[in-house]
Structure 1
């Protein structure tokens, strides 16, 4: 499968599984974020651009398996997005207490977050990375400008009452973060393990 086709499939999976399950006749998403592939694939093929070039289950599996960010899960004939939802789901994460900084990868176009904080628009949670390198990979996958890596003083944020959740795919999510906890990251840092 070529890269353009994989990108279209990935973006459509994100849009439907994270933000718009009820559009165009919709799909049923359970409280854990799963929907049955047997009805999901035919539903996708009613959406553009798949009305002209239908997507197959094999293509979806290839995109999910090849996604370095591990944004999706296929299990037991069902599929879900792990995070980034604009509606409430229970993914099955565990409480996480950071033992140092966490990171957020974006681009220079979003530099204003250093002044205004990391907020959410449609998404309910902010997604963070364990390391500078991981956040840089996320930033490089965003179209457009130069990468900007933001360091989050996560340990202080947790001490001030914020809660963090470690998802099964390794992502860390939390509520919006104020600017006083953010600085531009200029150094690589080690992976931080959750406290026992």
Structure 2
């Protein structure tokens, strides 16, 4: 078992490898689901001096304890659930809860409310079923603002949502008309930067 600090460090390295630059580490990911064999990732990690004694159970612990649930192991394969910057990973489309949430900051919120959510340098827009993950994602970007997404209206307008697991949903884009400010204990409201 590795310490909390070591788990954080290992999680960051696993993210770097699985989400951003597998080729720099000599790792080939499946072009459809972005996965690789657990044993292959373990070999890549063990090649790093700091992680030469790493075990499969250490990796499994990082996967299990990662607050944002960035990774998943299915059988003998592992992948980053979302956030890839290499080949686009596909997810099954589905029907999300009637409301999803997106964490952002006070600077970005007016633009989103006018222009909608766009994936920017990511493969997808990230949304969550609950406030916990939206808060985790949004608070690292500055003063937190939570937006709610009316998925029922978005679905009827043809917007597709993809389930990435662990309460995380993805979309290619979410037009502004389906985004509103979330207000705890009150009604959601749409605003624009011109209000």
Instruction: Give the structure-2-normalised TM-score.
Output: 0.77
Q: Secondary structure at the match of 2:147?
A: strand
Q: What is the RMSD computed on CA atoms of the aligned residues? A: 2.6
Contact 1:95–1:165 (Cα < 8 Å) also in 2:
yes
Q: Secondary structure at the match of 1:167?
A: strand
- Establish whether residue 6 from structure 1 lines up as the match of residue 10 from structure 2: no
CA distances 1:130-181 after superposition (whole Å, capped 9, x unpaired):
13344224435x3x63322111222222221111122343321111223333
- Establish whether residue 70 from structure 1 lines up as the match of residue 59 from structure 2: no
CA distances 1:33-92 after superposition (whole Å, capped 9, x unpaired):
22112221221344xxx434546133221110112332211232221112222322234x
Shift, 1:94, TM fit: 4.2
Instruction: Tell me the distance in 1 between the aligned counterparts of 2:122 and 2:53.
Output: 26
- Establish whether residue 29 from structure 1 lines up as the match of residue 26 from structure 2: no
CA distances 1:7-51 after superposition (whole Å, capped 9, x unpaired):
222222222212222124x212112222112221221344xxx43
Q: Which runs of 5+ in 2 are unaligned?
A: 187-195
CA distances 1:106-129 after superposition (whole Å, capped 9, x unpaired):
344543433443222332111211
- 1:129 is matched with 128
- 2:181 is matched with 184
Instruction: Tell me the distance in 2 between the aligned counterparts of 1:151 and 1:115.
Output: 14
Instruction: Tell me the distance in 1 between the aligned counterparts of 2:74 and 2:3.
Output: 25
Q: Aligned in 2, Cα 1:118/1:149: closer, same or farther, shift over 3 Å?
A: same
Q: Aligned in 2, Cα 1:51/1:106: closer, same or farther, shift over 3 Å?
A: farther
Instruction: Tell me the distance in 1 between the aligned counterparts of 2:50 and 2:66.
Output: 24
Q: Which runs of 5+ in 1 are unaligned?
A: 190-196
- Establish whether residue 174 from structure 1 lines up as the match of residue 171 from structure 2: yes
Instruction: Give the structure-1-normalised TM-score.
Output: 0.76
| Pairs aligned (count) | 181
